[in-house]
Structure 1
Amino acid sequence: MLTILISFIVSGLISVGVYFLSYNYFLAGLVGVLLLLGANFVVGKRFLNKLTALFKTVEKDMKAGRYDKAISRLKDGYKYSKWQIFVKEQINSQIGIIYYMKKDFKTAKEYLEKGFSKNWLGMCMLATMYFKEKNYEKVEKVMEKAVRGAKKEGFVYSVYAYFLTEMGRRDKAIQILQKGSNKAPLDEKLESNLEALKNRKKMKMQNYGAMWMQLNIDKMPQGVKPYQMLLNRQKIKRK
């Protein structure tokens, strides 16, 4: 990406200059490393701020129901992908989430498959589509990535466990929830689901409210908005 390239060029040129002034390899190398880190931070921070502003504007569009406008803004954000790694993937995830909320699942799938593995909501949505297709191998593959990318998000472990129980794999579901309990010990909903499975009862995914309903597995009750707690819970990643 251009941020890294610029950082290398700047640090390289200055470190070479320091060497010819001092003839000291260690000093030149030290200056080069410090400048590399500093330049990467400064340039990267600039574009991170631009992305943050973009995502905030998109969030306002979504709350106002301007879904197509939000998608258009996100697509404009592709221009930042040449500056920072994973920008395109993060934008793909957000676009996929919006199409999923619009119930355009075919288009949502196209974007989510090219999305960011650390966007846990997008990954859960993608796994849901594979689950409905009965492509259980891909369900597990996607959810394994989801829990690795959101180790402290109890909802992700519960969703994974739900899919596993529906596949008839209760024992592995318990293992996943136990793993989640170790990472997110304060998640009461996760703990409740773990106890339910241990007692051979059904998980209560409805306790997660709108987050669960937005996966469109159960019928969404009236009054629940189709876009809540999404962008504000997804951190923008620089690398």
Structure 2
Amino acid sequence: MLSKKRPNERCAWATFIDTYQMAVVGPKKWIKCSLMILLIATKVAPLRNPRNREEAMNSSRIIFRTVTIVAAICSGTAYADSPRTGNLQIKIEITKDCQVNTDAKNSAINDAVLDFGSHGVLNSDIDAQTAGAGSIRVQCTSGVDYNIGLDGGGTKDTSNRRMKSTDAANTETIGYQLYSDKSGGKVWGNTAGTDTVKGKADGTLQSYTVYGRVIAQSTPPAGIYSDTVAVTVTF
């Protein structure tokens, strides 16, 4: 006759079978679980017929502990199967800076332009102003206080600005002035805090209009007259 399994042994084997069924969820885990099954078999075989109650209890403990290990490995909670995580730190440092006459993407630098147009004689004042992309454009780090200054151009004198002929043989000039207001009451110079224009940066591209006037004067020979004024931003 076949001997009947003792209650503790039947309980352990039932737990083992449940653990094995839970473990078989994929080829890789199946191999791991199969190895664990062999381990359990070697532990269980010598203890199938305990001689006394104490030995029976020890048998149950060994089987239970071994099955618990199998359950941990096969269920994916074992340390060998656990993912490892870390962190990727992202950073950037923003420093105080200003850029002048760049486009919205800071990809190109274009001079501001003030064009008085074409005229035959200078017998009356001629007013003009910058507009759109021709205005002075400043972009600074948000929160920066800055001043925009305009120098005296070729004469280096903000009180006596003059345009020269592009024809080297022509020495005649045309007087003009630049202002920060439309009425022409505030000459735009380059002395910070005195005749410059103040700005408060918000991080975006900010535009400033320059107003100009050619006062009535003697008309020089025909031709093109121009001057280059440096724009300086201090912050």
Shorter-chain TM-score tier: under 0.3
Larger radius of gyration: 2
TM-score between both structures, scaled by the size of structure 2 = 0.23
Higher helix content, 1 or 2: 1
Bigger relative contact order, structure 1 or 2 (CA pairs below 8 A, ≥6 apart): 2
TM-score between both structures, scaled by the size of structure 1 = 0.23
